[in-house]
Chain A
Amino acid sequence: MKVLLIEDDAETAHYVGQGLTEHGHVVDHAGDGRDGLFLAAAEAYDVMIVDRMLPGLDGLGAVKTLRAAGVQTPVLFLTTMSGVGQRVEGFEAGGDDYLTKPFAFAELLARVHALGRRRPIAPIETVLRVGDLEMDLIGRKVRRGVRAVELQPREFRLLEFLMRNVDRVVTRTMLLENVWEFHFDPKTNIVETHVSRLRSKMDRGFDCELIETVRGAGYCLRAPRV
Chain B
Amino acid sequence: MAPDTAYVRRGFKLLRGSGVRFALLHTLVFVISVAAVGFSAEVLVTHALKVQAGRRVEGEAAELLNEFRQYGSDTFRKLIDAHTTSGESRLHYALLGKDGQRVAGEHLVARAAALVPAVDASPVAEARLTGSDSLLLVRRLLPDGTTLIVADDLGSVEDVEDVVSNAFAIVLGISVLLGLASGFLLTKGVLWRVEAVTRTAEAIIAGDMTQRVEQSGAGDEFDRLATSLNAMLDRIVQLMANLQQVSNDIAHDLRSPLSRLRQNLEHTRTHPTTNQAYATAVERAIEEADVLLATFSALLRISQVEAGSQRAVFQPVDLSEVVETVCEAYAPDVEEGGRILTYAIVPSIRVDGDRELLAQLLANLIENALTHTPRGTTVRVNLHSHGPVDPGPALEVCDDGPGIPASERDKVLRRFYRLERSRTTPGNGLGLSLVAAIAKLHGADIRLSDRAPGLIVALCFPPPPALNQATRETAPLG
> Which residues in A have some Cβ–Cβ distance to B below 8 Å?
82-85, 88, 100, 102, 152-154, 180-190, 192-194, 197
Contact = CB atoms under 8 A, between A and B. Distances in A.
B332 A84 contact: no
Given A88-B313, A180-B325, A189 B333 contact: yes
Interface string B325-343: 1101110111011000000
Top 4 A-B pairs ranked by shortest CB distance?
Answer: A193-B333, A193-B332, A184-B360, A190-B333
Contact of A84 (B294, B329, B330, B356): B356
B359 A181 contact: yes
Interface of B: 293-294, 297, 300-301, 304, 309-310, 313, 325-326, 328-330, 332-334, 336-337, 354-357, 359-360, 363, 367, 370-371, 426-427, 478
Given A82-B300, A85-B309, A180-B325, A188 B356 contact: no
B304 A194 contact: no
A182 B309 contact: no
A84 B354 contact: yes
Given A153-B478, A189-B333, A183 B325 contact: no
Given A83-B304, A190-B330, A102 B293 contact: yes
Contacts of A154: 325, 328-329
Given A153-B478, A190-B330, A181 B325 contact: yes
Contacts of B326: 182
A185 B427 CA distance: 13
B310 A180 contact: no
Contact of B297 (A82, A182, A192): A82
A84 B315 CA distance: 14
B31 to A, nearest CB: 54
A190 B309 CA distance: 30
A83 B310 CA distance: 9
Contacts of A193: 332-333, 336
Given A82-B297, A84-B310, A184 B333 contact: no
Contacts of B330: 186, 188, 190
A194 B330 CA distance: 9
A187 B336 contact: no
B430 to A, nearest CB: 11
A187 B425 CA distance: 12
Contacts of A184: 301, 356, 359-360, 363
Given A102-B293, A180-B325, A182-B329, A187 B427 contact: yes
Nearest to A180: B329
Contact of A187 (B297, B313, B371): B371
Contacts of A82: 297, 300-301
7 contacts: A84-B354, A181-B356, A184-B356, A184-B359, A188-B337, A188-B370, A193-B332
A84 B336 contact: no
A187 B304 contact: no
A114 B351 CA distance: 35
A162 B359 CA distance: 23
Contact of B356 (A183, A186, A187, A192): A183
Nearest to A87: B356
B332 A197 contact: yes
A187 B431 CA distance: 10
Given A181-B355, A184-B359, A186-B330, 5 more contacts: A82-B301, A182-B363, A188-B333, A193-B333, A194-B329
B300 A84 contact: no
Contacts of A190: 329-330, 332-333
A154 B325 CA distance: 9
A84 B313 CA distance: 10
A85 B355 CA distance: 12
Contacts of B360: 182-184
Contacts of A84: 304, 310, 354, 356-357
Nearest to B325: A180
Contacts of A185: 294
B366 to A, nearest CB: 8
Nearest to B328: A154
B330 to A, nearest CB: 6
Contact of B359 (A85, A182, A187, A189): A182
B440 to A, nearest CB: 16
B332, B371, B478: which has the most chain A beta carbons within 10 Å?
B332
A2 to B, nearest CB: 30
A13 B454 CA distance: 51
A181 to B, nearest CB: 7
A181 B329 CA distance: 11
A187 B364 CA distance: 9
Nearest to B333: A193
Nearest to A192: B333
Nearest to A182: B359
A165 to B, nearest CB: 20
Contacts of B313: 85, 88
Contacts of A102: 293
A185 B360 CA distance: 9
